[in-house]
Amino acid sequence: MALFLLRERWRAWRQAFQEFFYGFAAYDVVQHLLEMRAATENLFIAALFGDLIGLPIMPPYYSLRLLPYVVPVLSTWKRRVLREREFTDEHDFHLHGL
């Protein structure tokens, strides 16, 4: 019984250390990478299916060939691109050193 409690306590400490280290070292990088991925995905879908929101960029032949792969994310992309927002929403202003 004591060995079981010791293992559980060790697992809890290890989990707490992993979460602390992730927040300390990797959280900011992961958030930045997720933002870059979202921006790249927005540009890709806008280049292919911009005609859905009034941006005719590529010929429809290529759009139709890629349509089956993009259908799952198309409705959320249209909501994300067409929602109203302030021009400062997309930028984090890092004031390091002030």
Does the model's pTM come out above 0.75?
Answer: no
Q: What is the mean pLDDT of the chain?
A: 80
Q: What average pLDDT does this structure show over 45-64?
A: 75
Residue spans of the domains in the chain: they are 27-82
Q: What average pLDDT does this structure show over 70-76?
A: 83
Percent of the chain at pLDDT exceeding 90: 14
Other C-beta atoms lying within 10 Å of the C-beta of residue 26: 11
Concatenated DSSP letters for 48-79?
Answer: HHGGGTT---S-HHHHHHHHHHHHHHHHHHHH
Provide the token pair at 54: 């009034």
Rounded to an integer, what distance in angstroms lies between the CA atom of residue 64 and that of residue 81?
A: 21
Q: Comparing 51 with 14, which gets the higher pLDDT?
A: 14
Which of 27-31, 63-67, 73-77 has the lowest average pLDDT? Answer: 63-67
Rounded to an integer, what distance in angstroms lies between the CA atom of residue 74 and that of residue 91?
A: 24
